[in-house]
Amino acid sequence: MEINWSLFVTIGLIFLVTLIGAYIRSRIKDRCLKDFVGFHVTIEREDGKLIWGIMSLESTGLELSYTDTFQDERHVESSYVLYGSEYQGVQAIYRYADKLSAWGRKKRDRDIRSAFHPNMFRRLARSTRNFFSTATDSLQEVINVLLGQFQKAGSQFLIDDTSNSLSKLGEKYIGEIGHQADPLLENYIGQRVVFEITEAGEVHEHVGVFKDYSAQFIAFLNVQYPQRQVVPFQIEKDAQTDRVHVWTKAGQLSVENLKEEPLLLQTLRWTGQERFLNVVVDGGEKVDLHIEGELTQAELHMQVARELDMIVPRSHCVVRHRAEYYKPDDVGDVVFDMIFDLGTAFTGSGVRDARERRLREDLERNPKDALTASNLAAILIQKQEYDEAEKLLNQALIAEDSLPDGGRRARMQLREIERRKAGMSVVQPALQEGVVAPVGEYCVACNAPIKGVGRMLGDRAYCEKHYRRAVQGRSGTWQATLGLIAGLLAFVALVSLIAPTIGAAVQGFGLIVAGLLLALVPAVIWLIVFYLQDRLEPEPKRYILGVFALGAVLSGTIGQPLITSFFRVADWANFSLWSKIAADILVIGTLQAFLIYAAVRYTVFGSDEFDEPVDGVIYGAAAGLGYATMMSLSYIIAHGGVDIGVGAIRVAVTALAYASFGGVLGYFLGQAKFADHSPFWLPAGVVLTAVLNGIVVSALSIVSRAGLQATPLRGLLLAAAIAAVVFVVLFAFMRRSNRMVLAKAAG
């Protein structure tokens, strides 16, 4: 009897996918929601219901634990459970900055710093996670293809229902970790952005720091958000909250803003009636409103600006564009224009239509009523009827003294019309190089608020101190480079003096150990001189060490195995001088240049700590030195140790050469980040470094040998001279570029 294995394969596939899916579902928690675990948060549902408590999270949903128990007629409630299937019914999840505990404030501050300045390890982890997320999407496609093949091979066993079940299993389980990597959104992580939220049939814009996203949610930090508040009051009695003081006297309603931030008075409501206000009250100011009609008690509906962090379902939120810098002169107006924007109505509203009819009737009875004209214009802006709204606002501003806020809200609405007509957001694109940075931004070098005069380079703001450093370069970098060259020459001289004394005593395993120690000396010298000059001009040492270590790892795991085992360069490159030069450029040089480039480009390059053009040279040299260190270690281990004197020279030559190669690549990287270059700029840097690598390595091998006799000292002198020339040329190019930037900034 012939066995049809397709049935067993199908059963095994179902079993395997189910096990994998069960494990994934039990472990995966939404990465946006995880940031709010342990915090007191407020959940606003789309139906308007609010729930608040301390959040805990599981893979299937979340729970809010109340700080105080709630008792109704039948039982006592101490928590609220929201299941994952109910997430789409969430309008937003809020974390208020002014309500955090000391622990919460510290953790939130760390989150903000890491969002603005993610270190290289966070970036690497994120890249790895996105890779696997994308891979799982591909895995789902592969599973569907396999199912089709199994169905063809064993149609008598694998029926349509079974195939559909398997496909659903793949989508349900494997899809849990797929569909989360979004290359477009990745570009905005850690940036201040403008995002749009659908709220009660209207689209509103807000500004915040884009923290993270998942398959279902988007998380933002530092959002200035308009919170709705209702203040009930009675005639002839005072009412006060932490933000406003409300009182009435002789038919006049007075509202005093007790905080520094402006607030927006929206409506006044009493039994069966409503009055549309649309009045802005600045911090510490008071407005007076005339009350018409008989009322004994009423409710004042308003919006107040609060700083909060929020998580919003992706179903009704999109990141629209960057929002780094404000172009208008009055930054305060721009910020609150955004907070109290009118929004865009994309669905009909009976309430809105009724208000519009009532306001038009009032305006017909009294065409000179400035407040009615301003209120009607607000509704027309929501409906995108800008021309009529603009006429009404200009009409209202003719009698701005009669408006309770002196025309502040009407002018805000005119600016909003202007932006919408021009197709622009409140926040304008980044300013040109060299112009003054706006107050309210943070220096990317020191992360401190810009006070006084700041400057712009590209799309980044600098305080005056770090702006000058960025365009003038660092003297400390010269010191580190010269220190490396001088230190290596002194190291070789010292080893040459003591080698005859200790050479005979060091044999066997001791020779290997001595060689390994020698291989590490260039890195130690570099780090020491860098640390000494870095005390005045700091660069994160963990980044330097990380790039150095990554260069060494790439050398040992990719570079050397490919050169020796895959390309087998040693088997064919030494037939002639030209074959050696070709191998040194096309194979060895190209591969090593790309790996040194990758060690910087895909890690620290995207960090805000890479904030000056000269940083490229620093990080590039560190990556090249790491690559060279691993090459020296591998050579010493493969040869069972080396002669101490000759080994010291070989190690120094390799370190100087590869630090130079890394410096060249770093120059191209630094210029690519802070200056406008064509898309071919970075590839040209890799090609130039590969050519330099091949020529220098070939020249060193020729100079280090005279006939059959080795002359390593000549190779050392040539390597030191090449390193000195390379870095002199690089710093000359950087100074020339900096002078051009300063001249452009000066106009």
Share of the chain above pLDDT 90, in %: 10
Minimum mean pLDDT among 112-126, 200-214, 541-555: which range?
Answer: 112-126
Distance separating alpha carbons of residues 374 and 379, to the nearest angstrom: 9
Distance separating alpha carbons of residues 396 and 403, to the nearest angstrom: 8
Choose the most confident range, by mean pLDDT, from 3-17, 171-185, 346-360. 346-360
Last residue of a domain, one of 181, 201, 232: 181
Same-domain status, 455 and 595: no
**Residue 402 carries which DSSP code?**
G
Count structural domains, the chain.
Answer: 4
pLDDT band at 217; cut points 50, 70, 90: very high
Choose the most confident range, by mean pLDDT, from 43-47, 232-236, 442-446. 43-47
- Residues 370-380 have a mean pLDDT of 88
Contact 430, 462 (CB under 8 A): no
- Res 311 pLDDT > 50: yes
What integer pLDDT is reported at residue 378 of this predicted model?
Answer: 87
Last residue of a domain, one of 181, 207, 230: 181
Give the orientation angle of helix 712-745 with respect to helix 613-638, to 10 degrees.
160
- Res 130 pLDDT > 60: yes
Contact 197, 206 (CB under 8 A): yes
Judge whether 325 lies within some domain.
no
- Res 357 pLDDT > 80: yes
Judge whether 49 lies within some domain.
yes
Same-domain status, 229 and 286: yes
pLDDT band at 310; cut points 50, 70, 90: very high
Same-domain status, 486 and 436: no
Look over the chain and give the mean of its residue pLDDT values, rounded to a whole number: 75
Same-domain status, 274 and 411: yes
- Res 430 pLDDT > 50: no
pLDDT band at 62; cut points 50, 70, 90: very high
What integer pLDDT is reported at residue 329 of this predicted model?
Answer: 41
Same-domain status, 452 and 367: no
What integer pLDDT is reported at residue 434 of this predicted model?
Answer: 42
Q: Provide the domain limits for residue 553.
A: 475-745
What integer pLDDT is reported at residue 540 of this predicted model?
Answer: 62
Same-domain status, 461 and 374: no
Distance separating alpha carbons of residues 604 and 616, to the nearest angstrom: 10
Same-domain status, 371 and 518: no
Distance separating alpha carbons of residues 613 and 674, to the nearest angstrom: 6
3-state secondary structure 527-595: HHHHHHHHCCCCCCHHHHHHHHHHHHHHHHHHHHHHHHHHCCHHHHCCCCHHHHHHHHHHHHHHHHHHH
pLDDT tens-digit map of 152-211? 554 444 445 444 544 444 444 434 444 456 777 877 887 788 888 888 778 888 888 888
Judge whether 326 lies within some domain.
no
For residue 592 the two structure tokens come to 């090593």
Same-domain status, 715 and 727: yes
Same-domain status, 410 and 538: no
- Residues 726-746 have a mean pLDDT of 66
What integer pLDDT is reported at residue 70 of this predicted model?
Answer: 66
Same-domain status, 567 and 598: yes
Judge whether 640 lies within some domain.
yes
- Residues 294-304 have a mean pLDDT of 84
- Res 715 pLDDT > 70: yes
What integer pLDDT is reported at residue 176 of this predicted model?
Answer: 42
Q: Which residue in 117, 164, 189, 670 sits closest to 445, CA to CA?
A: 117
- Res 582 pLDDT > 60: yes
- Res 93 pLDDT > 90: yes
- Res 661 pLDDT > 70: yes
Same-domain status, 53 and 83: yes
Choose the most confident range, by mean pLDDT, from 143-157, 503-517, 675-689. 675-689
Judge whether 449 lies within some domain.
yes
For residue 291 the two structure tokens come to 């009350």
- Res 428 pLDDT > 50: no
Bigger pLDDT: 107 or 609?
107
Same-domain status, 151 and 253: no
What integer pLDDT is reported at residue 102 of this predicted model?
Answer: 84
User: Quick check: helix, strand or coil at residue 93?
Assistant: strand
What integer pLDDT is reported at residue 427 of this predicted model?
Answer: 38
- Residues 33-40 have a mean pLDDT of 90
Judge whether 675 lies within some domain.
yes
pTM of the model: 0.52
Judge whether 114 lies within some domain.
yes
- Res 605 pLDDT > 90: no
For residue 619 the two structure tokens come to 């990080």
Bigger pLDDT: 269 or 132?
269
Last residue of a domain, one of 444, 472, 500: 472
pLDDT band at 358; cut points 50, 70, 90: confident
pLDDT band at 704; cut points 50, 70, 90: confident
Judge whether 189 lies within some domain.
no
